[in-house]
Structure 1
Amino acid sequence: MNRRRRSLLTAAALAPLAAAPATAQVLRVGRGQVEEPLADSVRTALSAAVSFSGPPRASFSDVDQRLAYLRWLGAASDRLKPRMPETPLRVEFLETLWYESKRAGLEPALVLGLVQVESGFRKFAISSAGARGYMQVMPFWARLIGDGDPATLFHAQTNLRFGCVILRHYLNVEQGDLYLALGRYNGSRGQPQYPSAVFANQQRWMV
């Protein structure tokens, strides 16, 4: 199987770092993110990237951008409704996911595909390895770059922010190779099952 390589631009916020409903089963391939030594400069940059400055409020430079966002929100909400029937919760989740994805320079459809594969959109999901929440973030990240409390990874925005920042970090490590970055995220680097599943589900969320 040929590797699918995609390059994404680094978001300004992270510059310091060197249509079917969701029905797929959660995929268990790897062991989750693996704790690795971080250079002090990388740790500092990651800590800054996950620090909070307020609620996820989108801003737009023109009307066309806002209309495109609203079209995306409506379409994504319709597709997610079978998994999240409560409208306020569903809209808040999508608004947050869009904000955190864009902040990290990631496509929202990619992050939605990853969430679908990792947790099946279950906020309080816990893997056998202890990964938590929507994006199945390993608790050691809270100690390395957060406030040290892994319970905060069940907070929706915290989990989405950590997950997006971690994936961006792995993209940087893999020099923009999304196939390898996704494998590293899942702890199955070099194996095709997990990246292929995320790519397939990403297509379901394209608007």
Structure 2
Amino acid sequence: MADSVRLALSKLVSDPRPPKPSFDQIEERIKYLHWLAEMSDRLKRRLTDKQTRLEFIEAVWYESKRAGLDPAMVLGLIQVESGFRKYATSVVGARGYMQVMPFWSRVIGDRDAQKLFQMQSNLRYGCAILRMYIDMEAGNLYLALGRYNGSRGRPEYPNAVLANWKNWEYKK
């Protein structure tokens, strides 16, 4: 990985700003609040504690938008990767909601791989990494998702994320 990419990613994951949105127009805020309520309803069965659920949805929205990603795509990816389980660990060691590999904490983070089980850190790493892969693949989401999962060129994972993305689209 080029030093410039490593530095840019490092800056993204170390940004201490909390996931609080700001809006220029009241209409944007109203649309966000409607989206937040709809996603909360959809996630009730998976994340039963209301406060945890709202913090999770707010963080997904914030980190997705910050990375230039569609929150519905990120929710679809999380559904495929961890089934919305904060402490999910894959057989190869990927961690948390977005199944981030621990080596990323050494490459672009502060070397504390335990932070990958923290909601905010996991979402921030995952969204930043996915954005990097989309850029590397010149916007080809199919190839970028394959890179994210380590299955580039195989259809199963990108197809699963793309199918689940549709389940999280907000249509109001």
Structure 2 length-normalised TM: 0.98
Amino acid at match of 1:130: G
- In the TM superposition, structure 1's runs of 4+ consecutive aligned residues that sit over 2 Å from their partners are none
2:130 aligned partner, one-letter code: L
Work out which structure has the larger RCO, using CA pairs closer than 8 Å and 6 or more positions apart in sequence: 1
Please give the secondary structure, in 1, of the residue aligned with 2:129. Answer: helix
Deviations along 1:61-99, whole A, 9 cap, x unmatched? 101100110111011110000001110000000000000
Deviation at 1:189, TM superposition (A): 0.4
Equivalent residue letter for 1:137: V
Query: Residue 165 in 1 paired to residue 128 in 2?
Result: yes
Determine which of 50, 57, 69 is the counterpart of 1:87.
50
Scaled by the length of structure 1, what TM-score is found?
A: 0.81
Pick one of 104, 112, 117 that aligns with 2:80: 117
Secondary structure of the corresponding residue to residue 41 of structure 1: helix
Distance 1:46 1:83 in 2: 30
The 3-state SS of whatever aligns with 2:17 is coil
Shift of 1:53: 2.5
Aligned CA-pair RMSD: 0.6
- Counterpart residue type for residue 142 of structure 2: Y
Q: Which of 165, 168, 172 is equivalent to 1:205?
A: 168
Query: 1:185 matched to which residue of 2?
Result: 148
Match of 1:45 among 8, 13, 35: 8
SS at match of 2:146: helix
* Higher helix fraction (1 or 2): 2
Aligned residue number for residue 58 of structure 1: 21
The Cα shift of 1:49 comes to 1.2
Q: Structure 1 residue 55: deviation in Å?
A: 1.2
Identity across matched positions, percent = 62
Question: Which residue of 2 is the match for residue 8 of structure 1?
Answer: none
